[in-house]
Structure 1
Amino acid sequence: MGTRDDGDNAQTSIAAGGEEEDVNQDFWLFGYGSLVWKPPPHYDEILPGYIKGYVRRFWQASEDHRGTPEAPGRVVTLIDEAHWKTLSDDYHTLTTSTVWGAAYHIPSSHAAEVRSYLDIREINGYSIQYTPFYPSSTSYSSSVPSASPSLASPSNSNPSSISNQSPLKCMVYIGLPCNPQFLGPQPPQQLAAHILKSKGPSGENKEYLYMLGQALEELSPESGDEHIRDLVRRCRVLERGEEKGEGEGEIGGELKKVGSSEEQEEVEK
């Protein structure tokens, strides 16, 4: 995580890799998990698009929002493509190393406040990285995810500027493989069952999965993620089986039904 210097000069943040920045400077933030459908505060522009060279996987434990320390939930993180190729992820083939999401512009007037908010929201194993972000050429008006009514274009944004923009330097929070919450490859059927039974202060784990899946499908015709789609399909099938009293299917063990709770501040990206 970034650290802060509260000296007499302007505040600075040290990102992973030793990059120092003025925390009062405006910046772009890339969201690929809950930030896609639950935006940060104070953004004044939002762009759908993608980054390259990463793989999105539900391989990060969540002890503080979609689970508890005693029973961690599961949330997404990004794995560098080169590192992903060294892992035994036999469950999904990699057809593309682009990861779709949304980029938010945070103005300088709120930069320090939003950085502090993100440090709390992303505290459970995530660290700051920077990567080029490629805005979508798709018309913005047709790509606002209905899964999140709050993901609406601010009145002062400029949707028509999307198609011809150059890549933007974006801040992104990533749960690196060295962080203690990184779990690595997991059998998708077991992962789906775990997501269904997990719950934390921010609500049910399945809500995080379903909202992310819906938002990604609606960002662009190209933005669907097969790993997310597969987990959604598996969870839906398991839920249908549970409703029929078949909770002990192929995953072995009854799935516990959990209630919904009002969304609190998210930790996931």
Structure 2
Amino acid sequence: MPANTIEHNRSRFNFDGIEAIWLFGYGSLIYKVDFPFLEQRPAAIRGWARRFWQGSHDHRGTPEAPGRVVTLIEQPDAVCKGVAYRVSPNVFEYLDVREKNGYLRFSTTMTFDDGSHAEGLVYIATEDNEAFLGEAPEADIARQIALATGPSGPNSEYLLRLADSLRQLGDDCSHTFAIEACLRAEERLPR
């Protein structure tokens, strides 16, 4: 799968007759909400774990020195907390470009804090895309994040903002928090 997934995503879903659809955000879509939405609610999806296994060549790194951003990895007992946005389908014209570096839209069932459910879409970078970096020790991931910078800014900013956002959601993402601790130790950042 090529890293640029814009056209592939645009052929995956037909939005004819749909006025609004839910979108689940678990990474930068939690804190960088630069798109219009009709409603926003905390939500979770089951069977997926957040991992810093996707390379960022276009936002938080460069082709020569990619950063690391989150994707979802199937894990049967996992619960991934995030934020669901009810959006107009035309928002995907922008989001498909923003999430073009290996991410594909998939259907998912979201569970809201009140226990209700809704079907929606989520962007996931699967291991068959060119930008997928895969598993690595958390200290190594933190080191790569500490060194990477791209057009959207330092990769460390992405990690720190995500960790803060997850705490505000009440999520205990041990993977994200372990990498954050390694980064803070590496850069001697205050907690």
Distance 1:20-1:44 versus aligned 2 partners, 3 A rule: closer
Q: Residue 170 of structure 1 aligns with which residue?
A: 120
Identity among equivalent positions (%) equals 41
The 3-state SS of whatever aligns with 2:130 is coil
One-letter code aligned to 1:115: F
The 3-state SS of whatever aligns with 2:65 is coil
Q: After TM superposition, give the deviation of residue 41 of structure 1 in Å.
A: 1.4
Contact 2:6/2:100, CA 8 A, preserved across alignment: no
The 3-state SS of whatever aligns with 2:187 is helix
TM-score, structure 1 length as denominator? 0.65
The 3-state SS of whatever aligns with 1:21 is coil
- CA RMSD of the aligned region, Å? 2.1
The 3-state SS of whatever aligns with 1:195 is helix
Q: After TM superposition, give the deviation of residue 20 of structure 1 in Å.
A: 3.5
Write the deviation string for residues 117-165 of structure 1: whole angstroms up to 9, x where unpaired: 01100000000101000111xxxxxxxxxxxxxxxxxxxxxxxxxx25x
* Structure 1: distance between partners of 2:16 and 2:122: 16
Map of 1:238-253 to 2, 5 A cutoff? 238-240=186-188
Q: Are positions 1:73 and 2:67 aligned together?
A: yes
Q: After TM superposition, give the deviation of residue 3 of structure 1 in Å.
A: 4.3
One-letter code aligned to 2:106: Q
Q: After TM superposition, give the deviation of residue 190 of structure 1 in Å.
A: 1.1
* Structure 1: distance between partners of 2:6 and 2:57: 20
Q: Residue 253 of structure 1 aligns with which residue?
A: none
Q: After TM superposition, give the deviation of residue 227 of structure 1 in Å.
A: 0.2
Distance 1:46-1:191 versus aligned 2 partners, 3 A rule: same
| Ranges in structure 2 where 5+ consecutive residues have no aligned partner | none
Contact 1:130/1:172, CA 8 A, preserved across alignment: yes
* Structure 2: distance between partners of 1:116 and 1:79: 25
Contact 1:53/1:81, CA 8 A, preserved across alignment: yes
* Structure 2: distance between partners of 1:230 and 1:237: 11
Distance 1:14-1:23 versus aligned 2 partners, 3 A rule: farther
Over 3 Å off, 4+ runs:
1-4
May I ask how many residue pairs the two structures share in their alignment?
186
Q: Residue 145 of structure 2 aligns with which residue?
A: 195
Q: After TM superposition, give the deviation of residue 240 of structure 1 in Å.
A: 1.4
Write the deviation string for residues 100-120 of structure 1: whole angstroms up to 9, x where unpaired: 10000114xxx21x1110110
Q: Are positions 1:31 and 2:25 aligned together?
A: yes
Q: Are positions 1:230 and 2:182 aligned together?
A: no
Q: After TM superposition, give the deviation of residue 187 of structure 1 in Å.
A: 1.3
Write the deviation string for residues 194-242 of structure 1: whole angstroms up to 9, x where unpaired: 100110000000000000000001113xx1200000011010011119x
Q: After TM superposition, give the deviation of residue 45 of structure 1 in Å.
A: 0.8
Higher strand share: 2
User: Which structure's CA Rg is the greater one?
Assistant: 1
| Ranges in structure 1 where 5+ consecutive residues have no aligned partner | 5-11, 83-95, 137-162, 242-269
Q: Residue 104 of structure 1 aligns with which residue?
A: 85
One-letter code aligned to 1:62: S
* Structure 1: distance between partners of 2:56 and 2:134: 14
Q: After TM superposition, give the deviation of residue 39 of structure 1 in Å.
A: 1.4
* Structure 2: distance between partners of 1:186 and 1:117: 31
Contact 2:6/2:97, CA 8 A, preserved across alignment: no
* Structure 2: distance between partners of 1:22 and 1:54: 29
Map of 1:1-269 to 2, 5 A cutoff? 1=5, 3=7, 13-15=10-12, 19-22=13-16, 25-81=19-75, 96-107=77-88, 111-112=89-90, 114-136=91-113, 163-164=114-115, 166-220=116-170, 223-240=171-188
TM-score, structure 2 length as denominator? 0.90
Q: After TM superposition, give the deviation of residue 170 of structure 1 in Å.
A: 1.6
